Amino acid sequence: MLLKISNLKARVAGKDILKGVDLEVKAGEVHAIMGPNGSGKSTLAQVLAGRQDYEVTGGTVTFEGRDLLSLPAEERARAGLFLGFQYPVEIPGVNNVYLLKAALNAKRKTAGLPEVDAYDFLALIKQKMKVMQMSESFLTRGVNEGFSGGEKKRNEVLQMLVLEPKLAILDETDSGLDIDALKIVSMGVNSLRDPARAVVLVTHYQRLLDYIVPDFVHVLSGGRILKSGDRSLALELEKRGYDWVQGAEVA
Amino acid sequence: MNVGAHPTPTAPLSPALRSFEAQWRARKPDSLATLRASAMARVLQLGLPTTRDESWRYTNLRHLALHGYVDAPTTPRHGLRPYASLSLVSGSQRAATVLMVNGHPALPTHMDAWYNGIEIHSLRDMARSDAGLIAAHLEPLSDADQARWALINAALFEDGLYLRISGKVTTPLIILHLLTADGAHNVAHPRVIIDAAPGASATIIEHYVEQGEDPPPLCNSATHIAAGADSHIEHYRVFATGAAATHIDSLTIRQDRNSHCKQFTIALGGGLVRNSLEARLDEPGAALDSFSLLVGHESRHVDCVNIVTHNAQRTRSRQTARAIASATSRVVFNSKVVVSAGSVGADSRQSCRGLLLSPKAEIDMRPQLEIHADEVKCAHGATVGRLDPDMLFYLLSRGLDRETAQTLLVFAFLADVLTDMSVASARAAIEAALIAQLPDSKLLQAFR
């Protein structure tokens, strides 16, 4: 089991958001977590990535059998967990390439590997930039500095491709993308699909799942996973809305 | 000014001021004797600034005033270290360097040097041949409390540099100020005059370093820039002395029609650094871009005062200050923009940001405006805060360790000032020096 979440409860700014989430993700799988606004999707993603101001109040999370919640954010990343942010922050003055190189070297160090060769690294970045159709100017710019919403999301996926995480959690990576950008982003994510890796997509819309076909779909609402199913659940949700699931629980 | 009057002190003189007066009396009268006498008289009347003086509120010189001072030597006691180890600009970019030891230029005696459109003169020689010209550049712009040390400098400097820029000079000129003492309580009064002819352009870098086992002399430096019509001057002052150093620097700028000055103040070192900039935009179209990069670390104290006066129509000024303070250091940035009556269309902006890196550090930022004209555009803002938690989390989530992430963000915070530097190699050298002063510098070196 790559990721095992059991009865996870979390609180943000004194408010209970996650009220007992259970989820199991095996290597090779793609899971989609859907749900209405405020259901706790982003909170779940941030808690898994190790955001400090999100307080875990109960439950356990293991990642490859290790207690994930006891690790600081940077160690989770080095262990192979990656969060694609819903709102990637702009960091003027910190170059995109510096960040990527530092991130990759941090991961390599943990794995007992030497630092990446500068020449090889640039070749790697350029190859991944091609996949993501990013312009050369990216190399000289600050992290997400002046990027459009679409460029920021493509940058998230680019980072993911360079870091090759075991588990990628993509938080609304599709929001704010036009159809062309959505295709590029999906292609990037699909290129990482591999029997040794898993992807958790957090999304509002079924549309993304036309391009990245998930093995499982879960509906998160009110801080709990109310329903799980296969791809057809997403299609059903699109037709019937989230009220259908919420109503089903009450009934 | 009350020329020739005998000084009548209003308060008991501090040992420091008494020693300055003694230095002044011991000097051989020169062609500037009248001006020097009136400067000394004025200082003796006013006394050294104290924290009761508005622009010195945050910087207490009491300890400094308790000692008497003697002139620092004109040459280093144990010879000079190799130039290369001191030079700020190296590598592929060419630059000329003029060495000043405690304010005394290491130029061949009685010989003017020429350098690609810059005439380099000893101030002493120049004062002999054209006392009127030098006197005109020495008149302090005001005798407000921040100018008192400049008056002391005017009374006591023995030599210095007079640079006349006549052409468009593309290679930067570095003035390497070497501060070195022989025994305790030395004082140096370096003085530089930069006189840019109409249409001229040049980049001048003043770099202060120290050498020797004794604590460096108290440095009371003063620089004046006269920017002629349509001239472009880029000026740097880089304070890179050690924790034992006390440095008071007064920079004055007077700008003529459509001149453009870009000024960088980089405070990386010194135990106590107090630097002032007093700029007067005297003719229409004059523009000033001032950048202050103030780094407080350990228990150091950095106090920067800018006063920019718009004296003509369509004048423009931008002030960008970035301050960081770690450990128990304190950084002060006071800036004031004055728009005098009739300066229609004046345009000024002050952007001051401070970053606190420790709970015991302190940053005080005060942008001020004083407007006496209509139809002007003046904006100012000041913020002091800590590292952005969203940015920090983003870097951590990519696997960077906390120290590296913090150091990167600190560096990024200061980048606003660095990116405007036109001299690439100076920028690289300043970056490297800056990084060395940041917490966890070793980690950051890996990024350069």
% chain B with pLDDT above 70: 88
Out of A209-218, B31-40, B88-97, B108-117, least confident range = B108-117
Query: Which chain B residues contact residue A83 at CB under 8 A?
Result: 397
DSSP H helical ranges for chain A? 41-49, 73-79, 96-110, 118-131, 149-163, 179-191, 208-211, 231-240, 242-250
% chain A with pLDDT above 70: 98
Rounded average pLDDT over B111-122:
72
Instruction: Specify whether the CB–CB gap between A10 and A18 falls below 8 A.
Output: yes
Q: How far apart are the CA of A73 and the nearest CA of chain B, in angstroms?
A: 5
Q: Given CB atoms, is A146 within the 8 Å cutoff of chain B?
A: no
Asked if B391 lies within 8 A of A74 by C-beta distance, the reply is no
Write the DSSP symbol of residue A192: T
Out of A85-89, A95-99, B42-46, B438-442, least confident range = B438-442
**Residue where the block lists tokens 């302090």:** B140
Q: Whose CA is closest to B190, among B71, B277, B278? A: B71
What distance in Å separates the CA atoms of residue A177 and residue A151, rounded to the nearest whole number? 9
Which of A163 and B214 is assigned the larger pLDDT?
Answer: A163
pLDDT range class, residue B88, cuts 50, 70, 90: low
- Give the one of B394, B399, B402 whose C-beta lies nearest to A91's C-beta: B394
Q: Is a pLDDT exceeding 70 seen at residue A200?
A: yes
Instruction: Specify whether the CB–CB gap between A197 and A161 falls below 8 A.
Output: no
Q: Is a pLDDT exceeding 50 seen at residue B226?
A: yes
SS3 label, residue A72? coil
Q: Whose CA is closest to B231, among B253, B255, B263, B252? A: B255
% chain A with pLDDT above 90: 77
Asked if A73 lies within 8 A of B396 by C-beta distance, the reply is yes
Out of A91-95, B78-82, B236-240, B343-347, least confident range = B78-82
Q: Is a pLDDT exceeding 70 seen at residue B84?
A: no
Query: Which chain B residues contact residue A110 at CB under 8 A?
Result: 399
Burial of A82 (C-beta count, 10 Å sphere; 0-12/13-18/19+): buried
Token digits of residue A41: 């999707």
Cα-flanking dihedrals φ and ψ of residue B358, to 5°?
-150, 150
pLDDT range class, residue B432, cuts 50, 70, 90: confident
What per-residue confidence (pLDDT) applies to A199?
Answer: 97
Q: Given CB atoms, is A14 within the 8 Å cutoff of chain B?
A: no
What per-residue confidence (pLDDT) applies to B96?
Answer: 78
What per-residue confidence (pLDDT) applies to B445?
Answer: 47
pLDDT range class, residue B82, cuts 50, 70, 90: low
Residues contacting residue B438 through CB under 8 Å, at least 6 positions apart: B295, B297, B407, B410, B411, B444
Rounded average pLDDT over A220-242:
90
What distance in Å separates the CA atoms of residue B433 and residue B86, rounded to the nearest whole number? 12
Asked if B399 lies within 8 A of A83 by C-beta distance, the reply is no
Out of A202-211, B151-160, B281-290, least confident range = A202-211
Token digits of residue B259: 């001149």
pLDDT tens, position by position, B247-293: 999 999 999 999 999 999 999 877 999 999 999 999 999 999 999 99
Q: Is a pLDDT exceeding 90 seen at residue B91?
A: no
What distance in Å separates the CA atoms of residue A228 and residue A217, rounded to the nearest whole number? 6
Residue ranges covered by each domain of chain A: 3-250
B6 C-beta neighbours (distance < 10 Å), count: 8
Q: Given CB atoms, is A88 within the 8 Å cutoff of chain B?
A: yes
Q: What does the H/E/C string look like for chain B?
A: CCCCCCCCCCCCCCHHHHHHHHHHHHCCCCCCHHHHHHHHHHHHHHCCCCCCCHHHCCCCCHHHHCCCCEECCCCCCCCCCCHHHHCCCCCCCCCEEEEEECCEECCCCCCCEEECCEEEEEHHHHHHHCHHHHHHHHCCCCCCHHHHHHHHHHHHCCCCEEEEECCECCCCEEEEEEECCCCCCEEECCEEEEEECCCCEEEEEEEEEECCCCCCCEEEEEEEEEECCCCEEEEEEEECCCCCCEEEEEEEEEECCCCEEEEEEEECCCCEEEEEEEEEECCCCCEEEEEEEEEECCCCEEEEEEEEEECCCCCEEEEEEEEEECCCCEEEEEEEEEECCCCCCCEEEEEEEEEECCCCCEEEEEEEEEECCCCCEEEEEEEEECCCHHHHHHHHCCCCCHHHHHHHHHHHHHHHHHCCCCCHHHHHHHHHHHHHHCCCHHHHHCCC
Q: Is a pLDDT exceeding 90 seen at residue B232?
A: yes
Q: A49: nearest CA in chain B?
A: B397
Beta pairing partners, B307: B278, B336
What per-residue confidence (pLDDT) applies to B248?
Answer: 96
Pairing, β B272-281 against β B301-310: parallel
Which of A233 and B439 is assigned the larger pLDDT?
Answer: A233
Q: Is a pLDDT exceeding 80 seen at residue B112?
A: no
Token digits of residue B374: 């209509």
Q: Given CB atoms, is A85 within the 8 Å cutoff of chain B?
A: yes
Q: Is a pLDDT exceeding 50 seen at residue B111?
A: no
- Give the one of B404, B405, B411 whose C-beta lies nearest to A93's C-beta: B411
Q: Output the CA angle B434-B439-B440, nearest 5 degrees.
A: 105
Query: Which chain A residues contact residue B405 at CB under 8 A?
Result: 74
pLDDT tens, position by position, A19-55: 999 999 999 999 999 998 889 999 999 999 999 889 9
Token digits of residue A149: 């919403």
Query: Which chain A residues contact residue B389 at CB under 8 A?
Result: 53
Query: Which chain A residues contact residue B386 at CB under 8 A?
Result: none
What per-residue confidence (pLDDT) applies to B206?
Answer: 94
What distance in Å separates the CA atoms of residue A163 and residue A103, rounded to the nearest whole number? 8
Token digits of residue B422: 């036109």
What distance in Å separates the CA atoms of residue A39 and residue A84, rounded to the nearest whole number? 19
What distance in Å separates the CA atoms of residue B257 and residue B230, rounded to the nearest whole number? 6
pLDDT tens, position by position, B208-223: 988 888 899 999 999 9
Average pLDDT, chain B: 88
Q: A93: nearest CA in chain B?
A: B412
From the candidate CATH numbers 3.40.30.10, 3.40.50.720, 3.40.50.300, 1.10.3720.10, the one assigned to the domain spanning A3-250 = 3.40.50.300
Asked if B391 lies within 8 A of A93 by C-beta distance, the reply is no
Cα-flanking dihedrals φ and ψ of residue B135, to 5°?
-60, -40
What per-residue confidence (pLDDT) applies to B146?
Answer: 64
Out of A54-63, A80-89, B165-174, least confident range = B165-174
Query: Which chain A residues contact residue B408 at CB under 8 A?
Result: 94, 98-99, 102
A222: left (phi over 0), alpha (psi -120 to 50) or beta: left
Residue type at B64 in one-letter notation? L
Would you say the C-alpha torsion A139, A140, A145, A147 has a positive or negative sign? negative
Q: How far apart are the CA of A226 and the nearest CA of chain B, in angstroms?
A: 29
Q: Is a pLDDT exceeding 50 seen at residue B4?
A: no
SS3 label, residue A181? helix
Residue ranges covered by each domain of chain B: 73-386, 387-448
Q: Is a pLDDT exceeding 90 seen at residue B408?
A: no
Token digits of residue A14: 């004194």
